[in-house]
Amino acid sequence: MSKLIGRVLATEKSPTTMDEFNFWTNSDLKLHAFDIVKVKHIENSYTFGVIENISHITDAQSFLTNFISSDFGDVDIDEPTLRVGMNYAKAKVSFNSGNLYTPVHNNAKVYLATAEEITMALGLDRIQNPLVCGSLKMYEGTSEEVTLPVHLNSKFILGPEGAHLNISGISGLAAKTSYAMFLIKAIQDQYINADTDDSVAFVIFNVKGRDLMAIDRPNDFSTDRPGEKERTFAEYGNLGLSTEPFKNVKYYIPYARTTSAKQSTYLTKEDIENYIDAGQLKKFKYIYADDKENIEMMFADIDDPAQTMESIISKIIDKDDRDFGGLSTWSDFMDKVAEKAQKGSTADKGDISVLSWRKFKRVVRKAIQDDMFANAVNPSKAECRLADELKQIRKNEVCVIDIAKLPESKQAFVFGDAVRTIYNLKLGEYDAESGVEPPSRIVIFIDELNKYASKDVPKTSPILREILDVTERGRSLGVVLFAAEQFRSAIHDRVTGNCATHAYGRTNSIETAAKDYGSLPSTYKNMLTRLEQGDYLVQNPIFRSLLKIRFPKPIYRQFK
């Protein structure tokens, strides 16, 4: 039997409407934003509402009245004049059991909802292709507390109905990477044993330390409080997920000579050797003949209004060009660029100025002074071209590309090359090559999206162009972007606008004041500034309202 907690309020100044209503309740009753209540309505139907705000009022007409009631401000005495007080809550209508969306009536009974009614009110009972995205709690801290798994329709996050996920929140506390990895784990769990022709693979970029460089190793919970492992395993079990870490994982790190003073990864030499022995790790290189077409990725942050850099790049990748067509190594290439940048060079009949060549040389020379720009690949030493590996990706595989220790310009180069390769793979450009059998969908996860798709990135950026292609056309191809950033308001509108699912983590009040958060009620905006780690507000087309969900700690190894 549902618990009766109050009655609907409808006054001249605050009427009930088709969209919302207010109700009074006991001032000591524990209710929270996002809790669901049900109201008895006409024709034996029930209207369900999501609580947006709770207020407390008394019969005092002003602050001064209360001050006078306490013997003109004596803080040591109890209030001599009894004040009648109550709580009233504002709720937004989410559902009516009889599809009757007329305003609820004054003094109608308001109840707490049961678990079954909550799933019905939020539209969680009719979800097809369910994919777990966390759990929600209602009436937290009371004897009526309810915990429910939350599922979304996988076709609305992986396509074809909708695709792409954007996760925002401040660094550290929002646990953006952990939430993305939780969803990826849920997807792998669902597809690895599925009897379906549909298939999925994952390409993940590691951008911080060793964070994602042991996702196939179990978390030992050694630095957590006692019993944390058992609690976490129970949460995964309740959500219908396995307690095993990721399967079918491959790691790719930038190549670095063993004699080099600088290592290209935060992995220890012992870890690298162990991974190579297990056949899990390869060191990637870029070869001039195969990768010169990606040189434009080095100019992602360079404004090129006159398109002179683009003209130079077009000349370089032209196989019939008399200057660059016959080159085979990066050093030959740089020698030719240096020649073009010399004072008095008359090549190109003045089409491209010497100053432009010098600008080009400054950018490229700095970028290719890295061991990963090499002359050849030696497979016997676990070396590879990253693009060749991504072309061979298979269903249920997880490819982790480590770019954490690279400078930003080279991170952009690797990211841009990988995204372009995956996009072209799904376009069918490599179908004629042997061993190319891409899965139905490929999920790409990148943290710190602001580096590549912020509103400040030059419009000519080739990486921004690739990301826009993925978000605007990738859904139909089966290329899905999971992206995270600290400040959603800084991301290009066409990127966030094409994401079907949005997850809002803890952020600050300056960020919530941005227009990107204009659709959220003020209470929810304030809540974003105090969300706990592991809490997210999730928005998806199939949810009838924004949901506050929680997800468990990572099941894979953590580096502290």
Contact 34/20 with Cβ under 8 angstroms?
A: no
Residue with the bigger pLDDT between 16 and 409: it is: 16
Question: Burial of 7 by CB count in 10 Å (0-12 exposed, 13-18 middle, 19+ buried)?
Answer: middle
Question: Burial of 12 by CB count in 10 Å (0-12 exposed, 13-18 middle, 19+ buried)?
Answer: exposed
- Only one residue has tokens 């468990």, namely 552
Domains and CATH numbers, the chain: 4-121 (no CATH), 150-284+383-550 (3.40.50.300), 289-368 (no CATH)
Max Cα separation, the chain? Answer: 97
- 177 has pLDDT over 70: yes
pLDDT tens digits, residue range 361-402? 888 887 788 888 888 888 888 889 999 999 999 989 999 999
Report residue 502 as tokens: 């949005």
Its sign, for the CA torsion 212, 214, 216, 219, is negative
- 349 has pLDDT over 70: no
- 347 has pLDDT over 70: no
**Mean of pLDDT values over 523-541:** 84
Q: What is the pLDDT of residue 108?
A: 92
Query: How far apart, in Å, do the first and last CA atoms of the chain sit?
Result: 48
- 227 has pLDDT over 80: yes
Q: What is the pLDDT of residue 346?
A: 54
Which among 410, 472, 478 is positioned nearest to 444, based on CA atoms?
A: 478
pLDDT band, residue 468 (cuts 50/70/90): confident
Q: What is the pLDDT of residue 292?
A: 82
Angle between helical axes of 408-427 and 354-368 (0-180°, round to 10): 90
| Length, in residues, of the chain | 560
Contact 452/300 with Cβ under 8 angstroms?
A: yes
pLDDT tens digits, residue range 50-101? 998 899 988 888 888 878 777 777 787 776 667 788 899 999 998 898 899 9
pLDDT tens digits, residue range 232-266? 999 999 999 999 999 999 999 998 887 565 778 88
What is the spatial distance between Cα 132 and Cα 151, in angstroms, rounded to a whole number?
Answer: 4
Q: State the chain's mean pLDDT as an integer.
A: 85
Angle between helical axes of 408-427 and 462-477 (0-180°, round to 10): 30
Amino acid symbol at 200: V
- Only one residue has tokens 């990572």, namely 554
